[in-house]
A and B are shown apart, each in its own frame.
Chain A
Amino acid sequence: MSAAQDMRLSGVAKRYGETTAVEDIDLDIPAGSYVVLLGPSGSGKTTLLSILGGFTVPSEGRVLLGDADVTDVPPAKRLTVTVFQDYALFPHLSVGDNVGFGLSVRRMPKQKTARRVNEALTLVGLPGMAGRRVHELSGGQKQRVALARAIALDPAVLLLDEPLGALDLHLRRQMQDELRSLQRTTAKSFVHVTHDQEEAMALADLIVIMKDGRIEDVGPPDRVYRSPRTRFAATFMGESTILDGRVVACNGGEARIETAQGPLTVVTDLPAGAGVAIAIRPEKLLLRAAKAGETGLGEATVRVVTFQGSFARVTLEGNDGLAALAKVAPEAAPRPGDRVALTAAAADLMLIADDSRRAETKGDAGR
């Protein structure tokens, strides 16, 4: 069909009567990149995929594929192919006929189709399975056939709707690796929808975090993890302890911030008076008194300690009702009821610049 092409959503919104499924969507999907749309259910990620695939025509905005406007080009005529959540394999056709379906409706000669089918099946690790019936396949094999069926068409962009959701954990991790290498080998753009943040981090070149129909954050996984743009991104993409505060003084790009847990300093040029949020990853929250170069965050009472193998997960209640979370070595875990000090290195205080609570108090002007 085609080489990978850039895909772009510009100013896209979709409304159903009074309800808004997605809005204000601007997104670039560079050719050959693995993009993961991550968000809770109802965040609009599936609607977005459906708009990319042509199943849903947006109420506003444009969808571009390469240089062409494909906003209302139907799925059949679009260079995208979707791998559906339940695979949508045709139960009345053999594996080979499933994989060859797209070629056969385009009236490709039988021999050529058969060759392409075999290539695609080999690519997904199922060589020689063309004669099987769909109902004879295991869940993982069905997933691979669905992938082969999409790849056989040589699309510009492959869209995957929660492709691993129906698989058990072990198989899911294995398929992640295979998806990633498949994307590398084919050099196509993959757009993958999931609510599993580990899956997202394992696969993505670019993570798109969505909430309530809007994009909260877009970036490479390490950037999104290390400095999330929004409070939601900080809690959904891995867990965080979030402190609310206010800038009291700012000079030379360093701001002093007052929080209920004590004063702290972060690098920012926000003006005095601005409300901010500070997020700390659980593995960066230390349960001891501060040393030089570290920031003390007051005391907290240990509530629950759960052992999770290589670490213990500790939930605590700090000053002013702060809900804190720490991951510590199992042998160093405190007991419920203990009073401990909370500390974090200055470098591990993540300032959430585009804090949603701040945006709400200011109205939508902050966006």
Chain B
Amino acid sequence: MTGGKGFARLIAVVAALAAFYVFIYLPVAVLVLFSFHAGTVPVPPFEGPTLEWYAEVLGNGRVTDGIFNSILVGALSSLLAAGLGFLAAYGMARHSPPGSTVIQAAIMMPLTMSYLVIGLGLLILFSSLGFGKSLWLVGIGHVVINLPLCFAIIVSQLGGHQAALERAARDLGASEFQVIARVTVPLIWPALFAAFCLAFTFSWDEFVIAFLLTSFDVTLPVVIWSMLRTGLNPETNAAGTLVFLVSLAVAVAFELAISRRKGTSP
């Protein structure tokens, strides 16, 4: 192969990758850039920069309430999803009850279903039971969609290595609860944390269930949804950029938990 041909190939590879990255980053770049736009419509030409839209967003009570509600729903539902997922994964991995393939399929089922179907089902269920719409119901829905994810992540981390340590702990006199609290959880804590983070980002981002099951107190995606009614608006850009930053922070925490797990496991 001649040097010239190799160089041409390199250029082609770089150009192709660059084209992909432009496609992938175009909307994000436009979103972030025009959140600093000084005009009232976020379209070119760019004017500014200004932070006035961030001030506007953070001064908007509906947005800050939405952020607070989203964090509340996300944290509680993810905690519950990770907890239930852990218990199920532990039961499956350590006691392997008969019919475990059926049980596993049952737990994983909500993963493939449209959130809209789940949300409508919960709406009908709770309205026929006479419950008013509330953030609690959203939390319940988010546990439903995140439980399979948490279960799958945790069950993949409950390997034979921990099983041997749990057996040793049992032999030394630990009760089932002591085994879980003193051995299993400390050992797979990165997986639990990763499951929590992933569940949190899904809850943080979820719209349809939250939209169907809330009325006055709403989560951030529902607030942003209502902001979209005003059309293109730099304030929406600013809100979107903030949401992106929070998701990114949680995603980084998730990534770190995963890589630390890889680093420490023997």
The one of A74, A90, A153 in contact with B170, judged by C-beta atoms closer than 8 angstroms, is: A74
Shortest distance between the CB of A31 and any CB in chain B (Å): 20
The answer for the CA separation of A77 and B172 in the assembled complex, in Å, is 9
B164–A105 touching, CB < 8 Å: no
- Assembly CA distance A101 to B175 (angstroms): 12
Complex-state Cα separation, A153 to B173, whole angstroms = 9
Residues of A within 8 A of B167 (CB): 55, 75, 84, 88
User: Which interface class (under 10, 10 to 19, 20 to 34, 35 or more) fits A?
Assistant: 20 to 34
Q: B187 an interface residue at 8 Å Cβ cutoff?
A: yes
Q: Are A81 and B172 in contact (CB under 8 A)?
A: yes
Decide if B27 is an interface residue (CB 8 Å cutoff): no
Closest A residue to B166 by beta carbon equals A88
Interface string of B159-183 (1 = CB under 8 A from A): 0000011011111111100100011
Q: List, in ascending order, chain A residues with CB within 8 A of B165's CB.
A: 88, 90-91
By Cβ-Cβ distance, the 4 closest A-B pairs, closest first, are A102-B172, A88-B168, A75-B171, A105-B174
Which chain A residues have a beta carbon within 8 Å of chain B's beta carbons? 53-55, 74-77, 80-82, 84, 86, 88, 90-92, 101-102, 105-106, 149, 153
- B-chain residues with CB within 8 Å of residue A102 when the two chains form the complex: 172-174
- Shortest beta-carbon distance, A75 to chain B, in Å? 4
**Shortest CB distance A101–B (Å):** 5
B164 lies within 8 A of A53 (CB): no
Contacting residues, chain B, for A77 (C-beta < 8 A): 173
With both beta carbons as reference points, the residue of chain B lying nearest to A97 in the complex is identified as B182
B171 touches A76 (CB 8 A): yes
Q: How far is the CA of A339 from the CA of B171 in the complex (A)?
A: 59
Residues of B within 8 A of A82 (CB): 168, 171
Choose one: B164, B169, B186; the contact of A101 (CB below 8 Å).
B169
Secondary structure call for the B interface: helix
On chain B, the number of residues with a Cβ less than 8 Å from chain A's Cβ atoms is: 18
Query: A258 to B94, alpha carbons, bound, how many Å?
Result: 58
- Tell me if B178 and A88 are in contact (CB < 8 A): no
Known A91-B187, A91-B266, A92-B186; contact A101-B174, beta-carbon cutoff 8 A: yes
Residue of B164, B165, B264, B266 with most chain A CB atoms under a 10 A cut-off: B165
A92 to B169, alpha carbons, bound, how many Å? 13
Cβ–Cβ < 8 Å partners of B264 in chain A: 91
* Known contacts A92-B187, A105-B182; A84/B172 CB under 8 A: no
Report A82 CB to chain B, min CB distance, Å. Answer: 5
Q: How far apart are A72's CB and chain B's nearest CB, in angstroms?
A: 14
Q: Besides A91-B165, A153-B172, 20 other CB < 8 A contacts? A: A53-B171, A55-B167, A74-B170, A75-B167, A75-B171, A76-B170, A76-B172, A77-B173, A84-B167, A86-B164, A88-B165, A88-B167, A90-B165, A90-B168, A90-B187, A91-B266, A92-B187, A101-B169, A101-B174, A149-B172
In the assembled complex, which residues on chain A have CB atoms less than 8 Å from the CB atom of B178?
105
- The residues of A that contact B170 with a CB separation of less than 8 Å are 74-76
In the complex, the answer to whether A105 meets B187 with C-beta atoms within 8 Å is no
